[in-house]
Chain A
Amino acid sequence: MRMSKVVRTAADILFPFVLIFGFYIVVHGHLTPGGGFQGGAVIATAIVLLIAAYGYDAIARRITKDALRNTEALGLIAFIATALVALALGAGFFYNWLAGTGLLFGMPVGFGPNPGDLNTGGTIPLMNLAVGIEVLGALSLIVLYMLSGTQEAA
């Protein structure tokens, strides 16, 4: 079920912007409103936009259910692994072992009111990324499964 050329062109133009906005929400989760769940939902909305414009068959050839299921599992594993590394380092579960170390996302937070530095937060941006990957896989998977169910019935 393909939509008209107008809808497909509009979806083509909108898709990268929605995608970038979703990734912006995920990556800036520790600075601005939003986070992993919200950004993942926005990215899943972009995929649903493509499905609505191009139909299930054209999308299911490129984005398979297995790939989305692996995406979801990868996000969950990354989330738990980030928390487990803290245990391996001798601290508590979910301990923020990257904060203040000067490594990735490890810069100290500036004092007082400031616009915010992306390179802060320790493990929180990593966990936001993991949750974003997980949610984008899971929500797209739900829509694909709903569509494949109705496809067999019709």
Chain B
Amino acid sequence: MIVFAAHALVVAGLVIAALLVYRFRDLLSAAIAFGVFSFLLSLEFYILQAPDVAIAEAGIGAGLTTAIYTIAVRGTQRWEETEE
């Protein structure tokens, strides 16, 4: 029961984080939300008994991709332009 509740929480968090990545106009916030998404995804992989993939997702997704996106935002512009 507890495992099921944790699983449901993680999936709900995944959907919320993915929606936040889509909704944010501030690209830095979107990058951080993507990091949260990757972290929850690695938890989900661990719950589904794939610790191998979970380590890769935590290292690449939550660690490196967030850093690369943050650097890219710093190199370009922070706010997404609204289309007229």
Interface class of chain A by DSSP: helix
B56 touches A45 (CB 8 A): no
| Cβ < 8 Å to A, chain B residues 51-84 | 51-52, 54-56, 59-60, 63-64, 67-68, 71-72, 74-75
CA distance A13 to B10 in the complex (A): 30
Asked whether any CB of chain B lies closer than 8 Å to the CB of A52, the reply is yes
Chain B residues with Cβ below 8 Å from A38 are 52, 55-56, 59
> Whose C-beta in chain A lies nearest to the C-beta of B73?
A150
| Cβ < 8 Å to B, chain A residues 46-104 | 48, 51-52
Min C-beta distance of A68 to chain B, whole Å: 14
Min C-beta distance of B77 to chain A, whole Å: 11
B55 touches A33 (CB 8 A): yes
CA distance A48 to B67 in the complex (A): 8
- Size of the B side of the interface (Cβ < 8 Å), in residues, is 15
Chain A residues with Cβ below 8 Å from B59 are 38, 41-42, 44-45
A41 touches B52 (CB 8 A): no
Central interface residue in B51, B71, B74, by most chain A CB within 10 Å? B71
Asked whether any CB of chain B lies closer than 8 Å to the CB of A153, the reply is yes
A146 touches B55 (CB 8 A): no
CA distance A33 to B57 in the complex (A): 13
A-B contact pairs, 29 of them (CB 8 A): A33-B52, A34-B51, A34-B55, A35-B52, A37-B56, A38-B52, A38-B59, A41-B55, A41-B59, A41-B60, A41-B63, A42-B55, A42-B59, A42-B63, A44-B59, A44-B64, A45-B63, A45-B64, A48-B64, A142-B68, A143-B64, A143-B71, A146-B68, A146-B71, A146-B72, A150-B71, A150-B74, A153-B75, A154-B74
Which chain B residues have a beta carbon within 8 Å of chain A's beta carbons? 51-52, 54-56, 59-60, 63-64, 67-68, 71-72, 74-75
Closest 6 CB pairs between A and B? A150-B75, A41-B59, A45-B63, A33-B51, A38-B55, A33-B52
